[in-house]
Copies of this chain bind each other. A is one copy, B any other.
Amino acid sequence: MPTHYQGTTEEILALDAFIKLNRSVIAVQGRLLPALQREFGLTESQIAVLEALKHLGPLQQGELCQKILRSGSNVTTVVDNLERDGLVQRSRDESDRRIQVVNLTEKGRELVDRALPVHVGRITDTMAALEPEEQRELGRLCRKLGRAGESK
């Protein structure tokens, strides 16, 4: 699994870490998402929205963008599909009619209450490949990397 790329030592080190970072996410999600789809009919984005609503209550779509780190147009699509499936409900904010407030339906709440513990259990099992101290260190490094150039 070498890098193949001819470059400086610095570039090879960076590229190697970058590739392993990306592959680890693909590998981990590849183990989680098919099960989530099969058992609960949910995609990654869908459970992210449902989880945010469960823990934070009704949210504006713009707030959902922040939470799930996706574009506005994407949130429109994901919420469209959740609404079609009866898991969430949109309502216009009365004091500012530009705003769509998204909330869980009873069906949505029931589903996320069932799915989330199972999903978190699988995440925990997967992450258990690393010792607790390694998980902490991975978290620290990822946080540092993600934060860098955040203000841009």
A→B interface (CB under 8 Å):
4-5, 7, 10-11, 13-18, 20-28, 31, 51, 55-56, 69, 116-117, 120-121, 123-124, 126-130, 132, 134-139, 141-150, 152
Contact = CB atoms under 8 A, between A and B. Distances in A.
Interface of A is mostly: helix
A55 B23 contact: no
Copies of this chain present? 2
Nearest to A132: B13
Given A5-B116, A27-B150, A145 B136 contact: no
A145 B27 contact: yes
Given A7-B120, A55-B4, A141-B141, A146 B20 contact: yes
A135 B17 contact: yes
